[in-house]
Every structure is written in structure tokens, then in C-alpha cells.
Amino acid sequence: MNNVRFLASVAVAATLFSGPAFARDVTIHQAVIGETDQKTQEISTEDMRRIVSQGGATILDTRPHAEFVNGHIPGANTLKGPPSEAVAEVEKLVGGDKSKALVLYCNGPYCQASRRMAAQLLDAGFTNVRRYQLGMPVWRALGGPTEIDLDGVLRIFRNDQTAVFLDARSAEDFGKGSLPHAHNLMAENAAKVQGAPMPLDDFNTRIVLFGRDAQQARELAEALSKRPWHNVSYFAGTFEALNAAVK
């Protein structure tokens, strides 16, 4: 994730200085790349946040499944089958209704996966396909909540010795037992935390949040979204399930 801020600046620059897209009052959350050679419309981070919050479209993560489980936009769907079956998988996902709104994303402005998938869907007769071309790097950089699956948490827990695990439960619950080497940080304290348990030597450090349930973990993620640590993911499950899997 070391290139996150670079990608964010590229995305904004492309928006601000691309002909008709030039506008002094555009914000980074409203930025798009401004591509002119694509048949599908781009949406901004602001648009994507609205879709995540309010619905209105089926979100497709076009990255490999292994990347999806390590962190994805909340509510996104992954395509598990081979590329040759991707269109059929999407059709099944929307119940055969090719007019349903779809939003695709992948690994940022230079990632081709969502562009290719969008073109394939258009050729197959889908009529409402858009892309969040800024993708996961910019989503993370702008504080977008990122969900991580159990397989992803276990992979990080077992292989990434630099990762920080934060338990969003109460101090009382934390005191009764937590994951090995986890730290306690409740959402109400996230805005003012200085130093430990937050890493200060590398703000790209991977941070995994968990709580008694997905809602509690996400509340901590939202509280941290205005802080400078952007490589943050929350576990969308219960502490009991995570604790049992780690043992």
C-alpha cells in the first residue's frame, strides 16, 4: 500500500486537468479519472460511499478472490469462478436481470480488471454498468471502510508479524481474554489516541479491527477513518468466531 497517496494524487490530477472535467470546486471525494475512451461511466468515491451506505447497485470486486478476502469494500461481491464463467456468474448474481445497476472496482486507476469485465458485461447485454476506477487504493486512502473476511484475518495473523490487531470491545471484555498480542481500543477513544497502540513509525502498517460483532468493529473503523492510518480493515464477524478460528 505504499503507493496509495500517489494514486490518490494521480486520480485527482487527472480529474482536475482533463478538459471539461476541470473545475476548481471539485473535491478529492468527487474526483474521477475522466477517461474518454471507455464505454462505461466512472463514479467518484463520494458516489461509492453513497452506494455502500444506501444501496442502489450491486458492487463487484473484479480482483482475484485471494485479494478480496484480504480486504474489500463493504457489501462487495467476489467472482470465485474462472474468468470464462465471470459473466454467467454475474447474471446469476442479479437473477438474470441485466438492467440491474452494477458497479465494478479493482486495484486502482491503472488496474485493467474492472475495465475488461465492464466491456464483457456490455457485450453480454448488461445495460447499467459503471466503474469505481479509483479502486481499493484510493478508497483506503480516503478513509473508506474496508471489510476483511476470516480467511484474510487468519492469513495476516499467521504471516504478518508487523500487523496491529485492535479489539474494539470494552476494557472489561478485553480483560477477560482476547487474541494474542491484540490491543484494546474502543471507538469512543479513537479520535484522541496518540501513540500506542497505534504505530507511529510506519503509517502504512496493516491494522485489523475486530469486536464482539461486525457493527462494533466497523464503528471503530469509522472512528479511525479521519486519522492518518489508512491500511485499516475490520472483521465482519463475531469475536467468538475469530477467537475459535485462531486457536
Closest CA to 116 of 124, 67, 49: 124
Distance of CA 69 to the CA centre of its chain: 11
Phi–psi pair at 208, nearest 5 degrees: -115, 125
Residue 118 grid coordinates: 465492464
Q: Which residue's entry shows cell 438492467? A: 99
Q: What is the pLDDT of residues 65-87, one digit of tens each?
A: 999 999 999 999 999 888 899 99
101 near 128, Cβ under 8 Å?
yes
Q: Is 131 a residue whose pLDDT tops 90?
A: yes
Closest CA to 103 of 157, 56, 38: 56
Tell me the average pLDDT across 124-152: 97
Domains, the chain, in order of start with CATH, read 4-141 (3.40.250.10), 147-246 (3.40.250.10)
In this prediction, residue 234 carries a pLDDT of: 98
Q: Answer whether the bond into residue 109 is a cis peptide, omega within 30°.
A: no
In this prediction, residue 144 carries a pLDDT of: 94
Q: Which residue's entry shows cell 471503530? A: 220
In this prediction, residue 81 carries a pLDDT of: 85
Q: Is 12 a residue whose pLDDT tops 80?
A: no
Alpha carbon separation from 134 to 19, 27, 104, 164 (Å, rounded): 19, 14, 10, 26
In this prediction, residue 247 carries a pLDDT of: 84
In this prediction, residue 3 carries a pLDDT of: 47
In this prediction, residue 83 carries a pLDDT of: 87
In this prediction, residue 17 carries a pLDDT of: 42
In this prediction, residue 24 carries a pLDDT of: 61
Closest CA to 72 of 147, 138, 1, 141: 147
104 near 129, Cβ under 8 Å?
yes
Q: What is the pLDDT of residues 15-60, one digit of tens each?
A: 444 445 445 688 999 999 998 888 999 999 999 999 999 999 999 9
Phi–psi pair at 136, nearest 5 degrees: -60, -40
Q: Is 223 a residue whose pLDDT tops 70?
A: yes
In this prediction, residue 18 carries a pLDDT of: 46
* Lowest pLDDT segment from 6-15, 54-63, 104-113, 205-214: 6-15
Residue 56 grid coordinates: 442502489
In this prediction, residue 113 carries a pLDDT of: 96
Report angle CA 36, 86, 91 to the nearest 5 degrees. 90
Q: Is 130 a residue whose pLDDT tops 70?
A: yes
Greater confidence (80 vs 102) lies with: 102
Q: What is the pLDDT of residues 146-203, one digit of tens each?
A: 999 999 999 999 999 999 999 999 999 999 999 999 999 999 999 888 888 999 989 9
